Amino acid sequence: MKRFLLAGLGALALTTMLGSANAADLPRRQAMPTKAPIYAAPYNWTGFYIGLNGGGGWGHSDISAPLSASVDANGGLGGGTIGYNYQTGQVVFGLEGDGDWSGLRGSSVCGATTCDIHNDWLATARGRVGYAFDRFLPYVTGGAAFGNIKTSVAGVGDTDTSRAGWTLGGGLEVAIAGPWTAKIEYLHVDLGSASTAVAGADASFHSDIARAGVNYRF
């Protein structure tokens, strides 16, 4: 009996030792790798782009003596845009040009007759400087403006003169999806003055424009 008991204890001890050795030989379970954090690169505004724009304007014309009149003009406008941006750090430099059909028009009594002022088209060639907050780009802009000043003096005659002037304004452009951006913009435009059909009477024209647009960047 004593021999059987000693043999059983010895077998139990041997089994325990073999189990421990086998457990030590098993490879340790590897920890699951940690996923690297997803890093989104800042938006880069550099590149050429084209776009469409549209909005409205409020113009004003002062007609000198002998007509001596003041005419308010308003209406819509819309057209196309082309430009290029270059980003360094957070500063974005750009050149932009656009050409719009314009429906700004107004009329007023001038002396013993009626004067009509009409701006049919408007184009600008501007520089832009902005400061990028990733996908948001507030900017200031300014440069040359081109357009016509069309006058009509009832019972006397019409004139249509193309003029060059200046423009200054600002806006905000936002990257919305892929290469597409959207913007809102304000411009003050001064086209100087042009002669009317009445000798000595000149008509000045300036306007304030608010418009929105979408651009596609290459």
| Other beta carbons within 10 Å of 7 | 10
Domain boundaries, the chain: 47-217
pTM: 0.81
Specify the CATH number for 47-217; select among 2.40.160.20, 3.40.50.10490, 2.40.110.10, 2.170.190.11: 2.40.160.20
Q: What count of residues does the chain have?
A: 218
Q: Which residues of the chain have pLDDT under 50?
A: 1-18, 21-26
> For position 29, what pLDDT does the model report?
52
Q: Can you point out the beta strands (E) in the chain?
A: 47-63, 69-88, 91-110, 113-131, 136-153, 157-177, 180-195, 202-217
CA dihedral sign of residues 182, 186, 188, 191: positive
> For position 23, what pLDDT does the model report?
46
> For position 28, what pLDDT does the model report?
52
Q: Do the beta carbons of residue 121 and residue 134 sit within 8 Å?
A: no
Q: Do the beta carbons of residue 159 and residue 151 sit within 8 Å?
A: yes
